[in-house]
A and B are shown apart, each in its own frame.
Chain A
Amino acid sequence: MNTRSDAKLNAGAMRTAEWSQASLARAFSAPAFILLIATVVAPVFIVLLISLTDYRLGRITLNFVGLGNYTRMLADPFFWSALRNSAIYTAIVVPVSVFGALCLAVLLDGRRRSRRFYEIVYFLPVTSTLTAMSIVWSYLLNGHIGPLANLFTALGLPPLDFFADGTLALIGLAIIGIWHLIGFNLILFLAGLTVISGELKEASALDGMDGFWDRLRYLTWPLLAPTTIVVFVLSCIQAFQVFDTVAVLTNGGPYGATEMLLHKINTDTFTGLKAGYGSALTVVYLVLIGAFSLVQVAFGNRKAHF
C-alpha cells in the first residue's frame, strides 16, 4: 500500500524496497500468525480428529471409532439433558437480559446527569469476578439464611431453597446470569440509541407519539433492530458459555438438573478422562457457537453498537 507512494524512487530500488518490505511485513506478522495456528487453528482440527477416536487422557493408544462418539452422544440421555438445560438457561437469560436492558436503555436515553451514574452501577457486575460473586449469590438466594430467606419469612411464605431444588437451581443460575449480563447489553443498546437518538426525536415529534410503550414498540425498537440482533446473538453466545456459576455453585447438580453443555464437556474430558467423547461434545459446542457467530456476522452492523 505504501509502496505506491514510493513511485518516485526508481524501479529497481522500488522492487528491492517492495521485496524487503514484504519480507519485513511477514516477519512482523509471523509470531502472531504462528501462535494463532498453534493455539487456535491446529487445536480445532485436533479436536475434530480426537472426536473420531476413543482416546482417553493418559492413555497412549488411539483407536479410530468413526462417528462412534457421535452416535453414542445421540443416545446419551445426559448429553440431551445438558443440551436442554443450556437451552432452558439461555431461554430465560437472553430474553430477560435483552428486553430488560432495552427498557432500561430507553429510560436512560434522555437523561443527562444521572446517566453516567446508572451506567457505572449497571456495568459493575459485568466486570466483577463471577467466581467470587457466585459464592455471594449462593447466600443471597439461600432458602434458610440470607436476605431472601428473611424476606420470605417476613411475608409468611415457605422458604425457596434455590440450589437444593432442581428447577429452582437452574432458575437461580439464570438470575445470576441475568445480573451479570444485563449491564453489558444496556451499554450496547445505549450506544445504538445515541446514534439514532436524533432521528427518533424528530419522528416521534411528528407522529405525536407520547406513550412510553408505543414509542418503544413503533419507533425505538424498529430503529434499534440491527443492535437488537447483535445484542441477542451475543447474549446467546454468553449464555451458552455459562460455566463459572455452574462449577462454583452446583457442579451440575442436584441430579444433573443444572448440568450444562460446557460444564459437561469439561467434566467428561478432564475429570472423566473420556477425551474422545468430550471432543465430540466440543465439536457440537463449537458448531453451535459458530452458528451464532455467523448470524451475528450476517446481521451485525458493526457501527450500530460501537
Chain B
Amino acid sequence: MARFSLRQILAHAVLLGGAVLMIYPFFWMWRASTQAPGQIFGSLHDVPPILASIADNYARALFDSPLPRFMLNGVIMTGGILLFQILTTVTCAYALAKFDFRGRRLIFAIVLISLSVPAQATALPIFIVLAKFGLLDTYTGVMIPYLTSGFAIFLFHQFIRSFPDEILLAARLDGMSEVEIVIRIILPAMTPAIAAFSIFSITFHWNDLYWPMIVIRSIDLAPPTLGLLFFRGQEGGDSFGPLMACATLITAPLILLFLAAQRRFVQGVTMTGVK
C-alpha cells in the first residue's frame, strides 16, 4: 500500500505542478497590477499588494485610459453578434430539423461546409464590400461577418431533432402558428443549447483580435483586445502597473463568467470540438 500512496502523491504532484503553471500568469498579472512602478520587477514575491498602488493603477486604467469605452464596445459587439446569431439560427435550425422541403439538403450542405471555413479566409472580400459601403470602422463592420453561425445552426438542429413531434402536432391542432411554436415551445426548450452556444460565442468574440484589427481604425470603437494594444502603444514603459490593471479588467469578465458557469462553459467551448 505504501507504493500505491507514493504513486498517488506523485500523480498529485504532477497535477499540481501543472496547475501552478496554468494559474501563474493570471496570478502574476494581478500581482503586477497591484505594485508601484519600482516594485514590479525583481522583488515581486516579497512585496504584498499595496493598496495605494492598486488604487493608483486601477484608477489610471479606468479613468485616464478609454478602458470603460473599450469594455462597452466589447459588450455592444459581442452582444449584438450573439443576438443576431440566435435570431437567425433558431428558426433555420427548426426548419431544417422538423420540415421536409426542397432546398433543405442544399442549406444543410452549406451549413456543414461553413463549419470548416475559418473566418480569416473570408476576411478580404468582406473587407472590400465594407469599404464600398463605408462600413469600415463601425460596429456594424465588426459584426457583419458573424451575423449568423453555421455552427449554431448545426448544433441547434441536432438539439431540435430530438424534440418530440407529438408536442408540435398538438400545438398546431390547438391553432398555434409556427412563429408562436418557435417562440413559446422551441425557444424555452432550447435554453441549455442556447446557453452553451452563447458562452462559446461570447468567449470567441470578446477575445477576437483578428477581425477588429482589420476593421477598426479609431480608438473610440476598439474592443478590449484592440484597445489594450492601443493603450500599450501609447503609454511608455513606466505605466506597467496600469497596463496590467487594464489586462486584469479585460480578462476578468470572462474569468468571472467561467467560474460562475464552469460546466456549461466547458461544454460551450468544447463544442468547437464538434465542429
A contacts, CB < 8 Å to B: 1-3, 5-6, 21-26, 28-29, 31-33, 35-37, 39-44, 46-47, 50, 57, 100, 103-104, 107-108, 114, 116, 118-133, 135-137, 139-140, 145-147, 150, 179, 182-184, 187-188, 191, 212, 230-231, 234, 241, 243-244, 247-248, 262, 265-266, 269-270, 275, 278-279, 282, 285-286, 289-290, 293, 302, 305-306
Contact = CB atoms under 8 A, between A and B. Distances in A.
A152 B98 CA distance: 63
A126 B259 CA distance: 13
Contact of A31 (B104, B148, B207): B148
A43 B11 CA distance: 50
Nearest to B152: A32
A43 B270 contact: no
A241 B120 contact: yes
Contacts of A41: 110, 113-114
A100 to B, nearest CB: 8
Nearest to A49: B125
B247 A104 contact: no
A241 B208 CA distance: 12
A118 B232 CA distance: 33
B243 to A, nearest CB: 7
Given A33-B107, A41-B114, A121-B23, A285 B120 contact: yes
B81 to A, nearest CB: 12
Contacts of B100: 1, 3, 22
B270 A32 contact: no
Contact of B210 (A44, A114, A126, A266): A266
B26 A275 contact: no
Contact of B148 (A36, A285, A293): A36
A35 B120 contact: no
Nearest to A117: B19
Which 4 pairs of residues, A with B, have the shortest CB-CB distance? A43-B122, A25-B99, A293-B116, A32-B92
Interface of B: 7, 11-12, 14-15, 18-19, 21-26, 28-29, 32, 41-42, 44, 87-89, 91-92, 94-96, 98-104, 107, 110-111, 113-118, 120-128, 144-148, 150, 153, 165-166, 168-169, 178, 182, 203, 206-207, 209-210, 213-214, 224-226, 228-229, 232, 243-244, 246-248, 250-251, 254-255, 258-259, 262, 265-266, 269-274
Contacts of A184: 269-270, 273
B249 to A, nearest CB: 9
B265 A127 contact: yes
A169 B229 CA distance: 20
B148 A22 contact: no
B100 to A, nearest CB: 5
Contacts of A183: 22
A23 B42 CA distance: 69
Label chain A's interface by main secondary structure: helix
B147 A35 contact: yes
A306 B92 contact: no
B121 A47 contact: yes
Given A32-B92, A47-B124, 6 more contacts: A25-B101, A28-B178, A150-B44, A184-B273, A279-B124, A282-B120
A122 B228 contact: no
- Counting chain A CB atoms within 10 Å of each CB, the highest count among B28, B168, B169, B266 belongs to B266
Contacts of B107: 29, 33
Which of A25, A122, A244, A266 has the most chain B CB atoms inside 10 A of its CB?
A25
Nearest to A17: B172
Contacts of B23: 121, 124
Contacts of B148: 31-32, 35-36, 39
A234 B118 CA distance: 13
Given A43-B122, A184-B270, A127 B21 contact: no
B258 A127 contact: yes
Contacts of B207: 128-131
Residue of A23, A128, A150, A289 ringed by the most chain B CB atoms within 10 A: A128
B96 A2 contact: no
B88 A31 contact: yes
Given A43-B125, A120-B259, A290-B116, A128 B251 contact: yes
A39 B269 CA distance: 23
A40 B123 CA distance: 10
A2 B226 CA distance: 48
B266 A28 contact: no
A170 B147 CA distance: 35
A285 B117 CA distance: 10
A234 B255 CA distance: 24
A212 B23 CA distance: 27
Contacts of A247: 209, 213
Given A247-B213, A266-B214, A36 B247 contact: no
B250 A132 contact: yes
A121 B36 CA distance: 28
Contact of B22 (A25, A121, A289): A121
Contacts of A131: 207, 209, 224-226, 228-229, 250
